[in-house]
């Protein structure tokens, strides 16, 4: 009987840990592709829309041949710290949208990349 109680407690504990993990792992996954093509550089899609206050996880895949960044950290921007995505790699970024509608640029800040098209619009809507 004691063993059964111990087993039940262990099961309950692991369930609690599992559900805690689910909570911190972010929200809806938003796939983003970074790369270069025809002398241009890009993020796709060009516009990403999320609901105010929602938790999302950007899953950024670099399909190009050079390093790229993903950030929106200047004053008044989305508050996404710079992260570097090497060629062929994928990086995950958790982000919580603000509670009010807003529009932010997300971009690659390597010299010349943003000017070559490496930017997309992050829209927060009600």
The residues of the shown chain that bind Cu ion, judged by CB under 5 A, are 68, 108, 110, 113, 118
In angstroms, what is the minimal distance from the CB of 49 to Cu ion? Answer: 23
Considering beta carbons, is residue 84 or 102 the nearer one to Cu ion?
84
- Taking phi over 0 as left and psi of -120 to 50 as alpha, with beta for the rest, 39 belongs to left
Q: How far apart are CA 85 and CA 70, in angstroms?
A: 8
Question: Minimum CB separation from Cu ion for residue 123, in Å?
Answer: 21
Nearest distance, CB of residue 78 and Cu ion, angstroms: 17
- The residue among 32 and 108 lying less far from Cu ion, judged by its C-beta, is 108
* Nearest CA among 26, 81, 82, 23 for reference residue 59: 26
Nearest to 118 by CA among 8, 51, 57, 37: 37
User: 111 with 94: CB under 8 angstroms?
Assistant: no
Report which residue's Cβ sits closest to Cu ion: 108
Nearer to Cu ion, 68 or 91 (CB): 68
User: What is the smallest separation between the CB atom of 111 and Cu ion, expressed in angstroms?
Assistant: 9
């Amino acid at each position: 009987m004691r063993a059964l109680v111990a087993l039940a407690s262990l099961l309950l504990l692991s369930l609690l840990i599992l559900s805690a993990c689910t909570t911190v792992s972010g929200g809806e996954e938003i796939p983003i592709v970074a790369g270069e093509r025809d002398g241009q550089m890009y993020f796709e899609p060009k516009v990403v829309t999320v609901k105010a206050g929602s938790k999302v996880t950007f899953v950024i895949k670099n399909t190009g041949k050079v390093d790229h960044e993903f950030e929106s950290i200047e004053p008044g921007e989305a508050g996404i710290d710079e992260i570097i995505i090497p060629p062929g790699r994928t990086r995950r970024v958790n982000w919580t949208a603000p509670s009010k509608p807003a529009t932010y640029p997300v971009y690659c800040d390597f010299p010349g990349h943003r000017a070559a098209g490496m930017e997309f619009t992050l829209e927060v809507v009600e």
